[in-house]
Amino acid sequence: MSHNSRWTLALLGTAAPLAVGAAHAQELNLYSSRHYDTDERLYSQFEERTGITINRIEGKADELIARIEAEGANSPADVLLTVDAGRLWRADQAGLFQPVQSELLAERIPEELRHPDGHWFGFSTRARIIYYDKGEIDPELVQTYADLARPELEGEVCIRSSSNIYNLSLMASLIEHLGPEAAEEWAAGVVENFARDPQGGDTDQIRAIAAGACGVSLGNHYYFARLMRSDDPADQEVVEEVGWVFPNQDGRGTHVNVSGAGVLANAPNPDAAVAFLEYLASDEAQRWLANGNNEYAVVEGVELDNPALEELGDFEADDLDVAVLGQNQTQAQILFDRAGWQ
């Protein structure tokens, strides 16, 4: 699907809101699994820039994908916005997206962070990093993902379940880099180091370290950034106890995933849908994504104002094509199961 440049001019702020043309030209039906309050500003700014009204339905990603499938050709959905390349891959495998041709998106979104045929695009990234107890664990022990399987860390690892999409995507990247056999061996080594059965979310693992339940964990960076920016004294106590490492800085770089979106195959408002994706790639939207939810902008050169991200520091990211995270997802779950990672 190609795109009318008038929309781009409007969303970049170089033209007034567009006049109503064809039926529904001023509407966008967005299905979103992002649940961050700060995204409200994204939507209101898009409406102000373009004159397009966003009608939004929110829910869990798998539920939204199932809903779009059930609605079929009569689906009112124009855009699916969700987190993790693995979920975008699931939607694409179900045939839910249509290809988008946009010079702006091709120029601003790095190639490894978008579908090769324009079915979906990543608009922010999240790094999966290692957390450790600053009083008990030498950070030199946890400089790579492989280190989580070190025998010195027996009984020290708190982590989420293997079915969690973030862990599936990490495992999918390890399969691509190391091969299935080595990836399974790594998973088995991590299982040997469990301090407890997998449970809870990323923030729960960070809190568990501060509480002394374990010494090491994995989690997306923005969960810790939220604690860093919190005014709650209890959160600040957690931050004081927990250190962080961006893994594999002397090698392939830290595993990153995306929050992304695509235009749906039966979108009734396809031009408005592409305009929304292009807005998400604008400097303005990139700043809202990074400053609001502590994610990283994907567009090079966007200036941010986020003290937590500044404190976390710069890092080298793995430049693996994130489409692989979906392609290897099924095998990742099989290897986790064989390793005993529930």
Residue 12 has pLDDT above 60, yes or no: no
- pLDDT the model gives residue 17: 37
Q: Phi and psi at residue 72, in whole multiples of 5°?
A: 60, -140
Calculate the alpha carbon distances from 203 to 70, 131, 219, 224 in Å. Answer: 34, 11, 8, 7
150 shares its domain with 293: no
193 shares its domain with 72: no
17 shares its domain with 96: yes
- pLDDT the model gives residue 20: 34
224 shares its domain with 331: yes
- pLDDT the model gives residue 40: 87
Domain interval for residue 44? 5-125+257-306
Residue 214 has pLDDT above 60, yes or no: yes
225 shares its domain with 201: yes
Instruction: Please compute the mean of the pLDDT values over residues 123-146 and round it to a whole number.
Output: 98
Residue 2 has pLDDT above 70, yes or no: no
CATH code: domain of residue 220: 3.40.190.10
- pLDDT the model gives residue 3: 55
- pLDDT the model gives residue 72: 96
What end-to-end distance do the CA atoms of the chain give, in Å?
42
Lowest mean pLDDT, pick from 21-25, 144-148, 288-292: 21-25
196 shares its domain with 327: yes
Task: Indicate the pLDDT class of residue 36, thresholds 50, 70 and 90.
Answer: confident
Residue 65 has pLDDT above 50, yes or no: yes
- Looking at the structure of the chain, the number of domains it has is 2
What distance separates the 2 farthest-apart alpha carbons in the chain? 66
182 shares its domain with 277: no
Lowest mean pLDDT, pick from 38-52, 125-139, 231-245, 310-324: 38-52
**117 contact partners, CB below 8 Å, separation of at least 6:** 99
> Model-level pTM greater than 0.85?
yes
Other CB atoms within a 10 A radius of the CB of residue 216 amount to 26
183 shares its domain with 69: no
- pLDDT the model gives residue 291: 86
In the chain, pLDDT over 70 holds for what percent of residues? 93
17 shares its domain with 80: yes
pLDDT tens digits for range 284-329: 999 988 888 899 999 999 988 899 999 999 999 999 999 999 999 9
Q: How many CA atoms lie within 13 A of 49 on its CB side?
A: 24
- pLDDT the model gives residue 290: 85
34 shares its domain with 66: yes
> Do 81 and 289 meet the contact criterion of CB atoms below 8 Å apart?
no
Amino acid (one-letter) located at 35? H
Residue 13 has pLDDT above 90, yes or no: no
105 shares its domain with 176: no
Helix/strand/coil (H/E/C) assignment for every residue in the chain:
CCCCHHHHHHHCCCCCCCCCCCCCCCEEEEEECCCCCCHHHHHHHHHHHHCCEEEEEECCHHHHHHHHHHHHHHCCCCEEEEECHHHHHHHHHCCCECCCCCHHHHHHCCHHHECCCCCCEEEEEEEEEEEEECCCCCHHHHCCHHHHHCHHHCCCEECCCCCCHHHHHHHHHHHHHHCHHHHHHHHHHHHHCECCCCCCCHHHHHHHHHCCCCCEEEEEHHHHHHHHHCCCHHHHHHHHHEEEECCCCCCCCECEEEEEEEEECCCCCHHHHHHHHHHHCCHHHHHHHHHHHCCEECCCCCCCCCHHHHHHCCCCECCCCCHHHHHCHHHHHHHHHHHCCC
Residue 108 has pLDDT above 90, yes or no: yes
Provide the mean pLDDT of the chain: 92
Question: In this structure, what token pair is assigned to residue 312?
Answer: 């976390």
Instruction: Please compute the mean of the pLDDT values over residues 220-234 and round it to a whole number.
Output: 97
The more confidently predicted of residues 20 and 302 is: 302
120 shares its domain with 173: no
Task: Indicate the pLDDT class of residue 23, thresholds 50, 70 and 90.
Answer: very low
